[in-house]
């Protein structure tokens, strides 16, 4: 019995690590009659040397969400969060316009959003966080989740950060579609 419990704990821990500690949530608002399915903590991988002075200490989460209105209209968006320590990094100041770009199996796709102007936080711990949202189609989510290789570039007025998808990121995107 003890061995079975240990095996279960090992499998659970391995599964959590493989899933990139991302979680998928669904919330239904009874008052306004909408349902939202969203992911949290879908951290992207780092590959090779950093190309920007802002990227070495930053964590980049790319989360997808699906919103179903009371009328049944479905919309999708990607939410990018850049988190770093103020002493190790700096604000990137995500710009409005085309500030999120992908290389999906070698093909460039640029996304346009409002930037992080209204969504920047400095916490007492010295952690800084910027967040920006980009409307996308369901097809874009599927294209990303079914790709073989995805690289991401987040562009700000102070520089850019590049990351790439690991297998857990692809798996997480498939759950939102």
pLDDT score, position 127: 84
User: Distance between CA atoms of 55 and 171, rounded to whole angstroms?
Assistant: 24
pLDDT score, position 72: 94
pLDDT-derived band of residue 169, with 50, 70 and 90 as boundaries?
Answer: very high
| Average pLDDT, integer, range 103-109 | 97
Give the three-state DSSP class for 52.
coil
pLDDT score, position 73: 96
User: Distance between CA atoms of 124 and 122, rounded to whole angstroms?
Assistant: 7
pLDDT score, position 47: 60
User: Distance between CA atoms of 126 and 110, rounded to whole angstroms?
Assistant: 31
What domains appear along the chain, each with residue ranges and CATH number?
Answer: 22-176 (2.60.40)
| Average pLDDT, integer, range 60-89 | 90
More confident residue, 49 or 149: 149
Query: Which phi-psi region, left, alpha or beta, contains residue 106 (left: φ > 0; alpha: ψ -120 to 50)?
Result: left
Vertex 159 angle, CA 94 and 154, to 5° = 50
Cβ atoms of 162 and 153 closer than 8 Å: yes
Please check the confidence at residue 14 and state whether its pLDDT lies above 70: no
More confident residue, 90 or 4: 90
Cβ atoms of 92 and 158 closer than 8 Å: yes
Q: Residue 18: CA atoms inside 13 Å, Cβ hemisphere, count?
A: 8
pLDDT score, position 56: 59
Please check the confidence at residue 175 and state whether its pLDDT lies above 70: yes
Q: Which residues contact 59 (CB under 8 A, 6 or more apart)?
A: 43, 82, 83, 84
């Amino acid at each position: 019995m003890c061995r079975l419990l240990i095996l279960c704990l090992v499998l659970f821990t391995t599964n959590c690590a493989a899933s990139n500690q991302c979680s998928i949530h669904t919330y239904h608002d009874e008052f306004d009659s909408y349902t939202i399915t969203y992911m949290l903590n879908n951290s992207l991988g780092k590959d090779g040397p950093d190309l920007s002075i802002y990227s070495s200490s930053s964590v980049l989460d790319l989360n997808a969400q699906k919103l179903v209105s009371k009328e049944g209209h479905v919309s999708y968006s990607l939410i990018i969060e850049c988190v770093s320590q103020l002493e190790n990094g700096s604000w990137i100041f995500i710009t409005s316009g085309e500030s999120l770009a992908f290389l999906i199996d070698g093909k460039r796709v640029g996304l346009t959003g409002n930037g992080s102007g209204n969504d920047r936080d400095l916490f007492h711990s010295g952690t800084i966080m910027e967040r920006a949202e980009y409307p996308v189609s369901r097809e874009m989510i599927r294209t990303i989740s079914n790709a073989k290789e995805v690289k991401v570039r987040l562009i700000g007025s102070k520089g850019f950060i590049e990351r790439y998808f690991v297998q857990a990121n692809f798996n997480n995107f498939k759950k939102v579609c």
